[in-house]
């Protein structure tokens, strides 16, 4: 028995499914998770001494690579001053300023502890500001595990949602309208049927939770326009894309200004952080100024602010995004060539350093397309790559992330591994 196997067996006795977040359990690919010992740069080592080139990057935050020296140093220095105050502190002000510098649509921002909290709070703000109950979301987009957002499309999706998780009463999701992504007619129809009731649309502007797919030409502009026309808010969930697809996220890359944005992952430099922000007049509905309540014992935590500030400073002052663009090109071209050589049909889809390889023949524009991909083949590919020392997300529906620490040699080694594995699929 390996040490990972031992730990997992033990873990199953104490933690539901043996994991603290379901996707880590490898159910999407079969087999058992390995247990991490440490991570540095583009690499992660397990407790049995195996070394992997890592394309998960702790699910997105590690854009600078694991254990980046600037972040480690900042966290150590902050820890010496105290791990939590629950009193306002200067790093919170610096963080707010830095977020505003990076993302101009943000006029005011509040820090929270996870992406889930960010999205949940943004929705509450949208409802409070508009005094309307309904929210439009898109199937395949994930906005964390708050009750009203854990919904996928059902037959009655246009006017009332269906729960997608046990433990969520239907009444809690009755105001969530779920539509297919990239479908303008569906959105127009939803606004017609629910006139005057839609508080806002929340979306991953480049979805990355059903694989990665891009908004069709003009789609984000369309959503901007239809929300404005109807007095609803446009909410970009940039928990995954923020500070990644460009410093200013998808909104910078595509030139769209949302009313509210949600952040997580990179903004915490690897510590548990989220944030939501946007128009000052909208954010001002929050307590203590306004009637919408939102709070947090550890919000704006000094360790988390130190880590996030260090990460964002490096991103803002360096050329990381340009480098990531080139690395993304290299990886994508290499994987496509490996698949072609092996005669395996693949579709690679990418926004900068965030990408996805579908075992499919047609481009993917929404969840229904993503479901057409060959998931059995992905499972084999995943385990083959892992055996070759390359750790991909253990699910066909997750993105692969490049970091500043991935070298061309790492990418070439990954492509060589893919060449070997593709031959066996
Ligand atoms: P967290 O609560 O996990 O910090 O963030 C929720 C969230 C919100 N919005 C988007 C676009 C997200 O991608 C996420 C979280 N992403 C998942 C996987 N893609 C995190 C991994 C996990 O759940 O274990």
149: domain CATH number?
Answer: 3.40.640.10
CB distance 209 to ligand 1 below 6 Å = yes
pLDDT, tens digit only, all 425 positions of the chain: 999 999 999 999 999 999 999 899 999 899 999 999 999 999 999 999 999 999 999 999 999 999 999 999 999 999 999 999 999 999 999 999 999 999 999 999 999 999 999 999 999 999 999 999 999 999 989 999 899 988 873 333 334 444 477 888 889 999 999 999 999 999 999 999 999 999 999 999 999 999 999 999 999 999 999 999 999 999 999 999 999 999 999 999 999 999 999 999 999 999 999 999 999 999 999 999 999 999 999 999 999 999 999 999 999 999 999 999 999 999 999 999 999 999 999 999 999 999 999 999 999 999 999 999 999 999 999 999 999 999 999 999 999 999 999 999 999 999 999 999 999 99
134 counts as catalytic = no
**Tokens at 280, concatenated:** 């000052």
Q: Does residue 381 belong to any structural domain of this protein?
A: no
* Cα end-to-end distance, the chain, whole Å: 28
pLDDT of residue 163: 47
- The residue whose C-alpha atom lies closest to atom 19 belonging to ligand 1 is 209
Q: Does residue 401 belong to any structural domain of this protein?
A: no
- Asked if 398 and 209 touch (Cβ cutoff 8 Å), the reply is yes
- Asked if 276 and 121 touch (Cβ cutoff 8 Å), the reply is yes
CB distance 200 to ligand 1 below 6 Å = no
CA 369 to ligand 1 centroid distance, Å: 21
237 counts as catalytic = yes
CA 423 to ligand 1 centroid distance, Å: 33
- The residue whose C-alpha atom lies closest to atom 1 belonging to ligand 1 is 115
Q: Does residue 227 belong to any structural domain of this protein?
A: yes
Q: Does residue 208 belong to any structural domain of this protein?
A: yes
142 counts as catalytic = yes
- The DSSP code sequence of 126-187 is HHHHHT--EEEEETT----S-GGG-EE--TTTTTS-EESSTT--GGGGTTEEEE-TT-HHHH
CA 421 to ligand 1 centroid distance, Å: 29
pLDDT of residue 150: 84
CA 239 to ligand 1 centroid distance, Å: 7
pTM of the predicted model over 0.85: yes
Pairing of strands 43-46, 347-351: unpaired
- Site to probe by mutation for ligand 1, drawn from 240, 271, 370, 399 as the one with most ligand atoms within 8 Å of Cβ, is 240
Q: Does residue 277 belong to any structural domain of this protein?
A: yes
CA 22 to ligand 1 centroid distance, Å: 11
Q: Does residue 233 belong to any structural domain of this protein?
A: yes
* 106: three-class secondary structure by DSSP: coil
Q: Does residue 274 belong to any structural domain of this protein?
A: yes
For the CA of 207, the closest atom of ligand 1 is: 11
CA 249 to ligand 1 centroid distance, Å: 16
CB distance 144 to ligand 1 below 6 Å = yes
Q: Does residue 311 belong to any structural domain of this protein?
A: yes
**Structural domain containing residue 285:** 85-317
CB distance 59 to ligand 1 below 6 Å = yes
For the CA of 115, the closest atom of ligand 1 is: 5
CB distance 276 to ligand 1 below 6 Å = no
CA 248 to ligand 1 centroid distance, Å: 19
Number of domains composing the chain = 1
pLDDT of residue 160: 40
Dihedral sign of CA atoms 123, 124, 127, 129 in order: negative
CB distance 137 to ligand 1 below 6 Å = no
Q: Is 376 exposed, middle or buried, given 0-12, 13-18 or 19+ CB atoms closer than 10 A?
A: exposed
Q: Tell me how crowded residue 174 is: count the other CB atoms within 10 A of its CB.
A: 18
- Site to probe by mutation for ligand 1, drawn from 115, 203, 245, 258 as the one with most ligand atoms within 8 Å of Cβ, is 115
For the CA of 274, the closest atom of ligand 1 is: 4
CB distance 239 to ligand 1 below 6 Å = yes
Q: How far apart are CA 311 and CA 265, in angstroms?
A: 11
């Amino acid at each position: 028995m390996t040490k990972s196997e031992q730990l997992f067996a033990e873990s199953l006795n104490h933690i539901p499914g043996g994991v603290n977040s379901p996707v880590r359990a490898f159910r999407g690919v079969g087999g058992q998770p390995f247990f991490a010992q440490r991570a540095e740069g583009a690499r992660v080592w397990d407790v049995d001494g195996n070394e992997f080139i890592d394309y998960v990057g702790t699910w997105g935050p590690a854009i600078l690579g694991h254990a980046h020296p600037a972040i480690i140093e900042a966290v150590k220095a902050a820890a010496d001053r105290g791990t939590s105050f629950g009193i306002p502190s200067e790093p919170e002000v610096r963080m707010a300023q830095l977020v505003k510098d990076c993302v101009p649509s943000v006029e005011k921002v509040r820090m929270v502890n996870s992406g889930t909290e960010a999205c949940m709070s943004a929705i509450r703000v949208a409802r409070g500001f508009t005094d309307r109950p309904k929210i439009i979301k898109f199937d395949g987009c994930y906005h964390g595990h708050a009750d009203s957002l854990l919904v996928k499309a059902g037959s009655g999706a246009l006017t009332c949602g269906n729960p997608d998780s046990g433990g969520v009463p239907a009444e809690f999701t009755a105001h969530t309208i779920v539509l297919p992504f990239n479908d303008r007619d569906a959105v127009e129809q939803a606004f017609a049927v629910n006139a005057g009731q839609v508080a806002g649309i929340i979306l991953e502007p480049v979805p990355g939770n059903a694989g990665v797919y891009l908004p069709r030409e003009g789609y984000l502009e369309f959503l901007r326009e239809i929300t404005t026309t109807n007095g609803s808010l446009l909410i970009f969930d940039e928990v995954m894309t923020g500070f990644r697809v460009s410093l200013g996220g998808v909104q910078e890359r595509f030139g769209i200004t949302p009313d509210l944005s949600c952040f997580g992952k990179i903004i915490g430099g690897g510590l548990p952080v989220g944030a939501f922000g946007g128009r000052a007049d909208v954010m001002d509905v929050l307590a203590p100024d306004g009637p919408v309540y939102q709070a947090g014992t550890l919000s704006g935590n000094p360790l988390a602010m130190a880590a996030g500030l260090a990460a964002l400073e490096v991103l803002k002052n360096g050329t990381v995004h340009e480098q990531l663009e080139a690395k993304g090109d290299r990886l994508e071209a290499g994987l496509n060539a490996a698949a072609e050589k092996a005669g395996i049909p693949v579709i690679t889809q990418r926004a900068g350093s965030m990408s996805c390889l579908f075992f499919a023949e047609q481009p993917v524009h929404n969840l229904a397309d993503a479901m057409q991909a060959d998931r059995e083949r992905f499972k084999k590919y995943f385990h083959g790559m892992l055996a070759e020392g390359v750790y991909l997300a253990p699910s066909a529906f997750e993105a692969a992330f490049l970091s500043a620490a991935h070298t061309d040699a790492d990418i070439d080694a990954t492509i060589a591994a893919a060449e070997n594995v593709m031959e066996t699929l």
